[in-house]
Chains A and B, each alone.
Chain A
Amino acid sequence: QKEVEQDPGPLSVPEGAIVSLNCTYSNSAFQYFMWYRQYSRKGPELLMYTYSSGNKEDGRFTAQVDKSSKYISLFIRDSQPSDSATYLCAMSAISGNTGKLIFGQGTTLQVKP
C-alpha cells in the first residue's frame, strides 16, 4: 500500500463548477501538507501549503486537512479552463526538516468551456 493515495482521474467538469480533489495517507507522522499544480510538460508549482489540521483559503482555492481521518482535500471554486492541469498532493513529516516530500500520483483535471 502506498503511503499517499490519490485518484488519478481524469476528472472532467464544466467551467464554473466546484472541484474537489482528495488524498488519503497512512503515515500519522505527516505534519505538512501541500498541493502542487502541474501543467503538461512543465514542472510542478506549489499551489497551497498547510501545516497540521485545518483550512486554508487563497482566492478560489481552499485546502483542508483532517488528520483524524488522514484525509486532505483541495477545493477549486468557479473553475476555469486555465485550471486544467494535474494536481499532486504532497506530504512531509517534521523529523530532520529535510524537505523530503511524499507525493500522490496526481489527479488530472480538465475544465471544459
Chain B
Amino acid sequence: DAGITQSPRHKVTETGTPVTLRCHQTENHRYMYWYRQDPGHGLRLIHYSYGVKDTDKGEVSDGYSVSRSKTEDFLLTLESATSSQTSVYFCAIRQGMGTGELFFGEGSRLTVL
C-alpha cells in the first residue's frame, strides 16, 4: 500500500487566517487529489494534480489553492479561512491504472471559528 501522511491531523483556527494542509506520499504516484467531506455531501473534489506544477480545479475549488513543487508533496491552502471551510479534508493518490482506484489518507479535521 502507498503511504500517505496528512498534516496536521487536527487544526482549529480563526476566520480570516491562512491555513495550509500538507499531503505527503512515499511513492512516485503521478495523480494526487484533495477532497473535503461534509455531512449530507459525501466527498467533493477540491483540486487535483497530475504532475509537478500541474494542477486543476475540482467541483468546490473556490477559496482554495494548491501547489505541487515535488512529486511527493501536495499542499492545500486556504488563503483566508471561513467557517464554511470547516470540514474533514482527505488527500488521495491514484494507486492503480484504473481511474477510480484511489488510496486515501487518514484525513485532516479543520475547524474554523
**A residues lining the B interface (CB < 8 Å):** 4, 6, 8, 32-34, 41-46, 49, 51, 88, 90-92, 94, 97-101, 103-106
Contact = CB atoms under 8 A, between A and B. Distances in A.
For the residues of B in contact with A, the DSSP-based class is strand
Nearest to B38: A105
Interface residues on chain B, size class: 20 to 34
A57 B33 CA distance: 28
B74 interface: no
Contact of A44 (B40, B44, B56, B90): B90
Contact of A97 (B45, B92, B99): B99
B18 interface: no
Contacts of B92: 43
Contacts of B50: 98
Closest 10 A-B residue pairs measured CB to CB? Answer: A43-B104, A105-B42, A103-B42, A103-B43, A34-B100, A99-B94, A32-B100, A99-B99, A44-B104, A92-B99
A6 B101 contact: no
B64 interface: no
Contact of A32 (B33, B99, B103): B99
Contact of B42 (A42, A49, A92, A106): A106
Most chain B beta-carbon contacts within 10 A, residue among A94, A100, A106: A100
B78 to A, nearest CB: 20
B57 to A, nearest CB: 10
Contact of B48 (A41, A49, A100): A100
Contact of A8 (B33, B40, B90, B107): B40
Contacts of A34: 100-101
Contacts of A103: 35, 42-44
Contacts of B42: 4, 6, 88, 103-106
A51 B101 CA distance: 12
